Amino acid sequence: MNRVSTGVEGLDKMLHGGLIPGRPYVISGPPGSGKSILGVHFLLEGIKNGESVIMVAVDEPPNEIKTNMAHFGWGLDRLRILDATPDIRTYTKGKSIIDVGTTLDVQDMEQVGEMRKSQQLRIMEVSIHSVQKMLKQEFQDHFKVSGKRYTRVVIDSLTSLKMFGMRAEDRRILIQSFLRFLSELEATTLIITELPRPDELKTEFLLARGDIRFQKWFESNAVRRAVSIEKFRGSAFDERFRPMVIGSRGLFVQADGEVALHGRRSDGVVGHFFRDIMSEEAFEILEEITTLWEECEAIDANIKDLKPRIFRAMIYLHMGRHDDVVQQSVSLLAALRERKEKATMSSLIER
């Protein structure tokens, strides 16, 4: 089968040759994990093969992307970037940058009246809708001028398009139609997005044909990185976590490398890696709460009202929402410490 290279050799190996062309894929990971760098690798690979490629910049203005990536010594002059950052005045226009801000699209809002349900949807609609329009226009213009179709598209990122609070139901419909639109373009598309929470089933992850996920953590004060493929429809793939580094030439994936985690299971069961780290943190903090709770009870500190917060933490734990457990527990720990201190103080005063 015909495959599309990601521009990163080790990752292509993990994908058993590369991506299946003409489909949308999700690239997810925490901030600074290398998502945008992969996007540029992917597009440069296309340019190298004489393909037409395009990036839609939502997170950072095009000139910043180019400056950030300049460290890798890549010639980005030929990389076409559509500027979809909310404020188009934040950058000085360069040669290959097309001036298309989301703000230009406000008059089109009236045309989609039927679907509109709330004020939030209105904003969101304009945002995804305008990116969609931009892309469609760009595809047509490019075809007119060059007789070629774009074969690679990167959207960096979808998260920024979705930042307006809106009902899950509305969001799902919009993203669904956006992904359908991307499939119809018949270009291989990378949609960059933030890491989903373990309990969340986000539409883009369900509908994308594949999900490449970056992980980043600290070990002995150094940043460690890994990449995994969570899903790849229509193909076999490497199900393990593989080590990754960001070096002077961009991403390097060690396709035959093992990810070792503090002597923990090193075969990294797909999807559980991040959860393992989080749940360990959650368990540790709950243990600390229990100890502190006992200490508070022993000195008759007033902590009754804090009980519901423990229950809440337990519910989150049960749901696998480990980051919520941690967040809830950190504030609970602080409260417990304060109560303990107060009780100790007043017993000292009484004496």
Ligand X SMILES: Nc1ncnc2c1ncn2[C@@H]1O[C@H](COP(=O)(O)OP(=O)(O)OP(=O)(O)O)[C@@H](O)[C@H]1O
Q: Of 98 and 246, which has the nearer Cβ to ligand X?
A: 246
- Give the residue, chosen from 173, 246, 270, 333, that forms a contact with ligand X under the rule CB under 6 A: 246
User: By the 8 A CB rule, do 216 and 29 touch?
Assistant: yes
Enumerate residues 6+ apart whose C-beta is below 8 A from 64.
Answer: 91
We find the least distance from the C-beta atom of residue 35 to ligand X, in angstroms, to be 3
Considering only the stretches 89-97, 182-190, 245-253, 280-288, report the one whose residues sit in contact with ligand X under the rule CB under 6 A. 245-253
We find the least distance from the C-beta atom of residue 331 to Mg ion, in angstroms, to be 30
Query: Cis ω on the peptide bond leading into residue 157 (within 30° of 0)?
Result: yes
234 binds ligand X (CB under 6 A): no
CA–CA distances in Å: residue 75 to residues 50, 71, 80, 82: 15, 10, 12, 17
Residue located via tokens 């291989």: 188
CA–CA distances in Å: residue 327 to residues 194, 221, 232, 322: 19, 23, 33, 9
Q: Of 216 and 339, which has the nearer Cβ to ligand X?
A: 216
| 97-98: strand order across its sheet | 97-98, 80-83, 52-57, 150-156, 188-194, 24-29, 210-219, 222-232, 242-247, 250-253
User: By the 8 A CB rule, do 212 and 205 touch?
Assistant: no
- Binding flags for Mg ion, 25-44, as an x/- string (CB under 5 A): -----------x--------
Q: Of 120 and 159, which has the nearer Cβ to ligand X?
A: 159
- Binding flags for ligand X, 46-85, as an x/- string (CB under 6 A): -------------x-----------x--------------
Considering only the stretches 25-33, 97-105, 278-286, 323-331, report the one whose residues sit in contact with ligand X under the rule CB under 6 A. 25-33
Q: Of 36 and 52, which has the nearer Cβ to Mg ion?
A: 36
Provide the CB-side half-sphere exposure for 196 (13 A, CA).
19
Q: Of 127 and 160, which has the nearer Cβ to ligand X?
A: 160
Point out which residues bind Mg ion (CB under 5 A).
36
Point out which residues bind ligand X (CB under 6 A).
29, 31-37, 59, 71, 246-248
